[in-house]
Amino acid sequence: MIKDNSIRRAVAEGRAALGTGLKEFASRGVPWIIEASGFDYCMIDHEHGAFDMETIADLAGWFQATNVSAIVRIHKSFTHLIPAILDQGIMGIQVSDIDTVAEAQAVAREAKYPPIGNRGISGQGMHTGYRGYGARHATEYAPWANANVITCVSIESLEGLENVEAIAAVEGIDMIAYGHSDLSARLGVHLQLEHPTFKAAVRRIVAACKAHGKLARGSAETEAQIEEYWQLGCQVLNLPGTDVSTYLDGLKARAARANARLKAIGVPVR
């Protein structure tokens, strides 16, 4: 059996489920590095990254060797890819720019097996740990998958924000996130994440999740926001940056230390 979802596990243990993102690097060691760093889940970015289906399948297998669950972010225009992505052993799907109940229902329909949705049945594969369930699929595998594969929609527009309470009520939606850059831009306060207008939007999203028993995923860009969003009710916290920014920041810091030491002894530096 494929491992249970690490986001569910963290929440059940009373912890915050901490997440990071991948949009550039896809080698076999990356999942182990992410696990060793203390994260619970990783978002593989299909929306803004360049990962194709075969790369996603490779990453899914490598993440299954760790205790870190992988989810994939797609734009809503690629909703039809959800079943194929999940059949690779991915443990969650995050769909961006959901504006309406109908769009959320379409996501749930593709991501969940009956009686919740209409995800097509594929037999042995990475998603089943290459076990065959046959006629027992509906009674053994499907209930486990419906509970463990997290279906997340992301609010990124004024229309989505206006409909968030109804979206949160959709059966088969497990978690609601928000795109902090897009949503703040559409609110007229781009990346002013301490602005009262943006804070009010986050509170509204979390309140909708609480009202309907769904997980709220906060994008905590500062240490203060980590505490603030947890106390607000975000049990899942996406921490700032991706593999790109993490690698870039680390290299910059190392080069800066080296240049500072060289400059101190009179060596020309860039």
Q: Which of 48, 80, 195, 212 is catalytic?
A: 48
Please indicate whether residue 195 is annotated as part of the active site. Answer: no
Cβ atoms within 10 Å of 125's Cβ, excluding its own: 15
Q: What is the pLDDT of residue 1?
A: 59
Confidence of residue 221 (pLDDT cuts 50, 70, 90): confident
**How many whole angstroms separate alpha carbon 64 and alpha carbon 89?**
8
Non-local (6+) Cβ contacts of 106 within 8 A are 79
Residue 4 Cα distances to 12, 61, 93, 144, 257, angstroms = 12, 14, 15, 9, 42
Q: Read off the pLDDT of each residue in 120-148 and give the average, rounded to a whole number.
A: 94
Picking from 88-97, 122-131, 168-177, 209-218, which range would have the lowest pLDDT averaged per residue? 122-131
Sign of CA dihedral 112, 116, 120, 125: positive
- What single letter denotes the amino acid at residue 215? L
223-232 and 196-212 helices cross at what angle (nearest 10)?
Answer: 40
Closest CA to 180 of 158, 209, 155, 162: 155
Confidence of residue 26 (pLDDT cuts 50, 70, 90): very high
Helix boundaries (H) for 126-189: 142-148, 158-162, 164-168, 180-186
CATH domain 6-239 topology:
TIM Barrel (3.20.20)
3-state secondary structure of 264: helix
121 versus 2: the higher-pLDDT residue is: 121
CB contact at 8 A, 92 and 153: no
Q: What is the pLDDT of residue 39?
A: 98
